[in-house]
Amino acid sequence: MAARANPKLVDDVKHYGASDVVKCYQCGNCSAACTISKDAHVFPRKSVHYLQMGLEKPLRSTLDPWLCYYCGECSEQCPRGAEPGETMMSLRRWLIAQYDFTGISGLFFRSWRAQLIITVVLGLLAGAGFLAYGFIWGGGDLSIYDGEKAFLPSHVVHLFDWVMGGVLFLLLAINCFRMWKFTMLNDHAPRVPLGAYVRHILLLPQHFLTQKSYGDCTKKRPWVIHMGLMMSYLVMLILIVFFLGDMQHGPEILWTHIFGYIASIGFLITLPLVIRGRLQKVEKHHQHSHHTDWFFIGLLAFVALTGIVQHIMHRTGLTTAANITYIVHLMGVVSFEVTQVPFGKWSHMAYRPLAIYFAQLQDAAKAEATVPLGAPAKPQPVA
């Protein structure tokens, strides 16, 4: 069946950041310059072609935008200044909105005002809720940080973390299922047997933890900064979700605090580099910033800095100030997690490893389908 064209697709994706795609005349320099574009996944060229032709359904089913890490090499080699790297970034935003069954992602990406209002409202609601618990339901003392009569006992915050995390995980899981449905069950995708999903399953943790494909790009510095930022967040998330009681313990230092200090140092190193890069606009991948990029950076910096300040106040005996700062910190945490994990930039941590995993499954299935009857299947390299 012929794909139906959507003449408004280019205009729609412009809201997600792709403003120069009309300049592209399909010379192919971008794909030739990319070190990780190969075989069935010729990007950015193929994705740009789908976009220019208004082929919405094939564009929704492609994995190629997720295989691109936006090192900027393709944009540097473009003779028309069509910014193919930024187009791929914009398509990732667009795809997030396509996977999201709630429509919230699309609202955030299309309107900075909507994202600002929702971010502020979430923070205020979280702050009001924690204050209400401390003063009314919990009967705590604002001058007590830990132990009996604590204003915000660790077990209460821990329970809140698990409930919020469970809801956000469910929303993200549903969106990941929709991604699988769009990319693996479309008319042009090869049918992948269940056993193949099991055989290649280790690709998920491998690419999640190492961002291996990013390391294969010609430019290594962005990969190092990206890994430092992601691992700092991941370490802190594990500590908060599983060891919050130990993290609130004090004044003596536990082993959990050491990992927390390492993660905090990671934030203090990588966040200024990211902010400086986007302000100076020297590197190609920093020359265009969508409003959601600044929301992500700003919220993450807010959460990291308030967490560090709160910890210092606790350790120095300023318990009342530590409790107040803790509430402000939790307001930022709620806003960041809700807006960025299932609906924003941090969802990349789920979608990108899944895309690499699905791409490998598709490549292996296509290779097996082309093997003559009775001939041994050619083994496929792991991405």
DSSP per-residue letters across 322-336: HHHHHHHHHHHHHHH
Domain end (from 39, 64, 99): 99
Query: 365 lies in a domain?
Result: no
382 has pLDDT over 50: no
| 142, 113: one domain | yes
Whether 79 and 108 map to the same domain: the answer is no
User: Is the pLDDT assigned to residue 351 strictly greater than 60?
Assistant: yes
- 15, 55: one domain: yes
Shared domain for 50 and 122, answered yes or no, is: no
Structure tokens at 348: 């990349």
Tell whether 267 is covered by a domain: yes
Assigned domain for 79 exists: yes
Handedness of CA 20, 23, 25, 31 (dihedral sign): negative
Mean pLDDT over residues 322-342, rounded?
96
**pLDDT band for position 383 (50/70/90)?**
very low
Q: Is 373 part of a structural domain of the chain?
A: no
Of 73, 32, 84, whose CA–CA distance to 221 is shortest?
Answer: 73
Residue 369: inside a domain:
no
**pLDDT category of residue 253 using cuts at 50, 70 and 90:** confident
Provide the mean pLDDT of the chain: 90
Structural domains counted in the chain: 2
CA 157: distance to chain centroid?
24
The domain of 57 spans 9-99
Indicate whether 93 and 151 sit together in one domain: no
Across 23-27, 282-286, 323-327, which has the greatest mean pLDDT?
323-327
Same domain, 90 and 117: no
- Residue 333: pLDDT band with limits 50, 70, 90: very high
Rounded to 5 degrees, what angle do the CA atoms 170, 365, 209 make? 45
> 373 pLDDT band (50/70/90 cuts)?
very low
Whether 56 has a pLDDT exceeding 50, the answer reads: yes
Q: For residue 41, what are the β-bridge partners?
A: 38
Q: Identify whether residues 334 and 213 lie together within a single domain.
A: yes
Would residue 49 count as lying in a domain?
A: yes
Residue 376 pLDDT: 52
Q: Which residue has the tokens 């993290």?
A: 247
Pair 152, 289 in one domain? yes
The distance of Cα 375 from the centroid of its chain, to the nearest Å, equals: 42
Within-domain flag for 2: no
What number is the average pLDDT over the span 278-288? Answer: 90
Phi, psi dihedrals of residue 99, rounded to the nearest 5°: -70, -30
Highest mean pLDDT among 17-26, 103-112, 312-321: 103-112
Q: Residue 154's CB: how many other CB atoms inside 10 A?
A: 19
Mean pLDDT of 160-187: 96
Q: pLDDT band at residue 244, thresholds of 50, 70 and 90?
A: confident
Q: Which two tokens stand for residue 371?
A: 């093997």
Considering the domain architecture, whether residues 262 and 304 belong to the same structural domain is answered as yes
Residue 371: inside a domain: no
Q: Is the pLDDT of residue 260 over 70?
A: yes
Contact present, 383 and 203 (Cβ < 8 Å): yes
- Report whether pLDDT(379) > 90: no
Q: What is the pLDDT of residue 222?
A: 85
Task: For 75-110, write each residue's pLDDT tens digit.
Answer: 899 999 899 999 999 999 999 999 999 999 999 999
Q: How many other C-beta atoms lie within 10 A of the C-beta of residue 137?
A: 10
Instruction: Give whichever of 38-47, 167-176, 277-286 has the largest mean pLDDT.
Output: 167-176
Report the SS3 class of residue 153.
coil
Domain's final residue, options 99, 130, 155: 99
